[in-house]
Structure 1
Amino acid sequence: MTPSPPALSAGYDVCVVGGGLAGIAAAIRLADAGARVTLLERRSELGGATYSFEHGDLVVDTGQHVFLRCYEHYRALLDRLGTGGLTQLQQRFSVPVLRPRHRPHVLARARRLPAPAHLLPALARYPLLSVRERLRAIGAANALRGVDPDDPGNDRRAFGDWLAAHGQGPRAVRRLWDLITVAALNTPAERASLALAARVFRTGLLERADAGDIGRPLVPLSDLHGRAALRLLTRLGVQVVTGSRVERVEPDTSGYRVAIGGAGGRSAREELAADAVVLAAAHPAAARLVPAAACDDRDSWHLLGSAPIVNVHLRYDSAVTRLPFAVAVDSPAQWIFDRTPPSIGDGQYLVGSISAADDAIALPARQLVRTHANAIAELFPAARSATLLEAFVTREPHATFRQAPGTRTLRPGAATRLPGLVLAGAWTDTGWPDTMEGAVRSGHRAADVVLAHLRGLPASPTRKLEGTR
């Protein structure tokens, strides 16, 4: 984790466009250094893709976001927000692996062995693979330690091709490698960048024994991120303006002017003048807002595309499992989370998260519910006698960018050709996949680029918010 930057010698106005994790992280870092920060967010609350909404007596997260112990920047942000204690982090990596009509198998690291030996017992005893497949998986895991995530050649290669070249057949990929790849990269190994896959496996599982320990929120995401961020930013003196749609970002003689659109998409009604701007928006919005002089490759950002995630929510009248989460193989279900709040008594609320959901995103909710409920009944026998009280589906059509071979050449760095205008977001070139950790790292990097620029400018006397006439 990078240390806090030194304070600015004089005050400057910085506008942060976007209130997701990247924008929040950038705004905190800038305010800590003494900048006068205005954060603009088009939605009614902060948090970006990590927010919650009410559904009857349930508070529903838009997606099932977990983190790893190696997410050091993200975990430090939670501590700064005062919400680190509202999460639960495993003492050791341990994942129940489910298969229809079979007893669960727990895939866990050894307690006292150093990396990468900490995974040897788990792989050697993994019953979903044959002995020969296990030995080959151990060899592939060892070889993956030598794959450089920052090598452009590795980014151009598919992880699936690399696995095949290292003796991993379709069953081993489906029952082992894709358990992690699909969840972490939102794409199967056959369509994933080798470099990004190497980042996931090396950083999360192979280089440090405890790095892959899994953390999960114990409260709704809006409580974990957005509301806590609003409280902290307000204490730091950041002006947070929600419900504001940015229409243009333009350079002028003294810095930048940010045009803020009116309600309902009407023409811009006011402008914010700033010495610097952090554009912490998703790549389609960033491509629309960034001036052509700043990034001549902005028209290629759409090639990053997007990949969907679908969540199936099932509420039963009684408990069907004691597992807090699990992953399924040979099943329509993937990752399953127990999100039961205390308010629903003896019942249980499960959420099935389907990543790389291109085949599921457009299916009718009724079909998704039926398929998933049947899958849960095959995985958890108690579900066969429980009554399904309620079921619904939430969809994230643009959950991540497509983390495919050749991705990195499309991901811009923080700095642009216009000094003081910087980019942030998990889609930028962080070297990490599209994760909460990548988002926070991008915000820190963007803030540092802005601060380096501002230290070379004369003082800016006051923040300027003007109505357009």
Structure 2
Amino acid sequence: MSVRGDTPPVHWSREGGGAAAPAGRGRVVVIGGGLAGIAAALVAADEGVEPVLLEARPRLGGATTSFQRSFQGGSLWIDTGQHVFMRCCTAYRGLLARLGVTHLTTLQPRLDVEVLIAGSLTRTRLRRTRVPLPAPLHLAPALLGYRALPPADRIRAALAALRIGRLDQRDPKVDGDSFGGWLERHGQSAVATEALWELLTVATLNAPASDASLGLAAKVVRTGLLEGADAGDLGWPEAPLQELHGDAAVRALTAVGGTVRTGTKARAVVRTSTGWEVTLDGGEVLTADGVVLAVPPPAAAGLLPEGTGVDPAKLRALGASPIINVHMIFDRPVLDVPMLAVVGSPVQWIFDRTISSGLAKVGPPGAQYLALSQSAAQEWVDQPANDLRALFVEEMRRLFPAAREAELLEVFVTRERTATFDQAPGSLGLRPDQATGLPGFALAGTWTDTGWPATMEGAVRSGIAAARETLATMAVSGSALSAVEHGPSANRGESLAAVPTQSWDVAGQAPAAPAAPATEPAAGAAGAAEAGTVTAGAAVTDPASTHKVTTQTETSTSTGGFPV
């Protein structure tokens, strides 16, 4: 069964539970229900401003969501892509805490990545030492013990990391240089580039070193590895992304009097003498005191109101870089760790999704669901599914003896053609600020100038910054805007522009749960502009309205979208 095409609009609003936004504090319409839009709406709500969050797709979450797929009489949750985060991602972790879902994630007590060397079929680790060494000395034991590199390359890599940390990512010359070119000029071998640097940057920048901005690579290395001994500790979801982000956001926003409307597309944004008007697909017009535009660059370019000073041609020039995921379900365990990196192979990262997908409950006893996350996937994104299936199944059987003996119950592919913007040399000059020059109108998304690459952290930071800009023109300031995290110190030549973060507790204090469930509109929701229902019982749901999901076949395809 396939579910696709138009989805009836759904309107959630508060029914019991949390306190409504105080009257008279204004209204902000947020266009786009990805992480950036969710963060912006929550900032507004926490300041007592009424947020109205619009999302064209049937679910919130943007590129960080999930859909259901039939499997052996039950259904599995399939994430549109595998996402991880680092301990240094304080804004994203704060969002998880604000949503009350920190307990649905795992955060390593120390960085520990097991790496399979494909040529020799041996394993090594990139692991932070238990000895409490200060940064950047904490890296020395990890690099010295990393057997994917010859000893001389390990020493040269450590020296290169220190040099990278001194680069000014805001310098146009740095941003305009390629990371691969810089590595070659600084004595990094082809082996070191593939087995170390691209292990990090392909996953975070969605580009090979030769095609990646040196400035963004410097940001990843400095913030993730050099500025704090524990900054690079990895975290990942233990539940479907839809549960972690979209459903939790609906609960949190409706609990405080916000409105969430899915299946609702904005067609125009116009400034008026009293504020803003947002025209929807069906002709309905919403009035607002402020607007946050949190959609992918091509869509944003088409919705910019007059007078923004934002060049739509630059937004379109940001381009896109794809990611594919190859999903394999085996009848027995093949991987003995939660995640594994692979070097020297077409396979990049493998994640065990047996529990988070629901396979452990509905599948045969002992079955294992592995997701292969393949970034910078230009060479694969247009290949026929059967070719991809043959390539990656054969490689998995070469890499893992257990896979040769296991029965492969199902294989399918999801494709995120526009997973991120193209984080190429010179991309900094194309990324706009969240402020647009128009009072009450701001931009949000990983593609805006956050100083971060296209990550969940960048998305959340952009949403918070956009909300700050919008609320400032509404004379709103308070606890939600009081916690400000500054960028790196001036002696590194970085921008000192304050980066707003929420005063959300990253320790994980959860908000009160609302009365209405996250997956259905509140019964009799007050003030609903459009009637909508969530149809239960479908074997497959399509959160993006762009998935082609055919069950009992080898392949499902997703066009995906920017993680905004």
Range into which the TM-score falls when normalised by the shorter chain: over 0.9
User: What aligned pairs does 1:255-274 form with structure 2 within 5 A after superposition?
Assistant: 255-262=275-282, 269-274=283-288
1:99 to 114, 117, 120: 117
Shift of residue 299, structure 1, vs aligned partner: 1.9
Q: Which amino acid aligns with 1:294?
A: T
Secondary structure of the structure 2 residue equivalent to 1:117 = coil
Q: Percent identity?
A: 51
Aligned length: 450
Greater shift after overlay, 378-387 or 309-318? 378-387
Shift of residue 9, structure 1, vs aligned partner: 10
Partner of 2:328: 314
Partner Cα distance (2:425, 2:136) in 1:
26
Secondary structure of the structure 1 residue equivalent to 2:295 = coil
Q: Deviations over 1:294-323 (max 9, x none)?
A: 134122211110000000000001001211
Secondary structure of the structure 2 residue equivalent to 1:439 = helix
CA contact (8 A) 1:8 1:33 kept: no
Residue 450 (structure 1) aligned with residue 464 (structure 2): no
Partner of 1:265: none
Secondary structure of the structure 1 residue equivalent to 2:156 = helix
2:422 to 376, 399, 402: 402
Partner Cα distance (1:126, 1:36) in 2:
52
CA contact (8 A) 1:9 1:455 kept: no
Q: Which amino acid aligns with 1:315?
A: I
Partner of 1:275: 289
Partner Cα distance (1:390, 1:440) in 2:
35
TM-score of the two chains, using structure 1 as the length reference? 0.93
Partner of 2:101: 83
Partner Cα distance (2:146, 2:463) in 1:
39
Partner Cα distance (2:529, 2:394) in 1:
58
User: What aligned pairs does 1:25-424 form with structure 2 within 5 A after superposition?
Assistant: 25-56=39-70, 57-100=75-118, 101-112=120-131, 113-262=133-282, 269-341=283-355, 342-343=360-361, 344=363, 345-424=365-444
Distance 1:42 1:85, change over 3 A: same
CA contact (8 A) 1:99 1:329 kept: yes
Distance 1:142 1:8, change over 3 A: farther
Secondary structure of the structure 1 residue equivalent to 2:147 = coil
Q: Deviations over 1:3-29 (max 9, x none)?
A: xxxx99941121110111001101011
Partner Cα distance (1:75, 1:126) in 2:
29
Shift of residue 122, structure 1, vs aligned partner: 2.0
Q: Deviations over 1:337-366 (max 9, x none)?
A: 010122222011101011000000001111
CA contact (8 A) 1:19 1:40 kept: yes
Q: Which amino acid aligns with 1:93?
A: L
Q: Which amino acid aligns with 2:452?
A: W
Question: Using CA pairs below 8 Å that are at least 6 residues apart, which structure has the higher relative contact order?
Answer: 2
Shift of residue 148, structure 1, vs aligned partner: 2.1
CA contact (8 A) 2:446 2:459 kept: yes
Secondary structure of the structure 2 residue equivalent to 1:178 = helix
Q: Which amino acid aligns with 1:222?
A: Q
Shift of residue 131, structure 1, vs aligned partner: 2.0
CA contact (8 A) 1:22 1:425 kept: yes
Structure 1 runs not aligned, ≥5 long:
1-6, 263-268, 458-462
Distance 1:318 1:171, change over 3 A: same
Shift of residue 169, structure 1, vs aligned partner: 1.9
Distance 1:9 1:187, change over 3 A: same
Q: Which amino acid aligns with 1:419?
A: P
Partner Cα distance (2:66, 2:529) in 1:
33
Q: Deviations over 1:196-238 (max 9, x none)?
A: 1011011001111101110010000000000010001000111
TM-score of the two chains, using structure 2 as the length reference? 0.78
Shift of residue 108, structure 1, vs aligned partner: 0.8
Query: More helix by proportion, 1 or 2?
Result: 1
Partner Cα distance (2:59, 2:145) in 1:
47
Q: Which amino acid aligns with 2:116?
A: L
Partner Cα distance (2:241, 2:347) in 1:
23
Partner Cα distance (1:42, 1:250) in 2:
19
Partner Cα distance (1:414, 1:128) in 2:
41
Residue 15 (structure 1) aligned with residue 29 (structure 2): yes
Partner Cα distance (1:203, 1:327) in 2:
21
Partner of 1:460: none
Shift of residue 465, structure 1, vs aligned partner: 9.6
CA contact (8 A) 1:273 1:465 kept: no
Q: Deviations over 1:14-60 (max 9, x none)?
A: 11101110011010111111112211110111111111111112110
Q: Deviations over 1:111-163 (max 9, x none)?
A: 22221111112212322222222221111112112112233321111111111
CA contact (8 A) 1:111 1:118 kept: no
Greater shift after overlay, 369-378 or 148-157? 148-157
Partner of 1:4: none
CA contact (8 A) 1:293 1:418 kept: yes
CA contact (8 A) 1:99 1:379 kept: no
Partner Cα distance (1:230, 1:295) in 2:
33
Q: Which amino acid aligns with 1:11?
A: R
Secondary structure of the structure 2 residue equivalent to 1:349 = strand
CA contact (8 A) 1:158 1:404 kept: yes
Shift of residue 417, structure 1, vs aligned partner: 2.2
Partner Cα distance (2:462, 2:303) in 1:
18
Partner Cα distance (1:150, 1:381) in 2:
47
Partner Cα distance (1:466, 1:69) in 2:
41
Greater shift after overlay, 134-143 or 332-341? 134-143
CA contact (8 A) 2:325 2:415 kept: yes
Q: Deviations over 1:397-451 (max 9, x none)?
A: 0000000111111110011121111101111000000000000000110111111
CA contact (8 A) 1:274 1:464 kept: no
Q: Which amino acid aligns with 1:54?
A: Q
Partner Cα distance (1:289, 1:429) in 2:
19
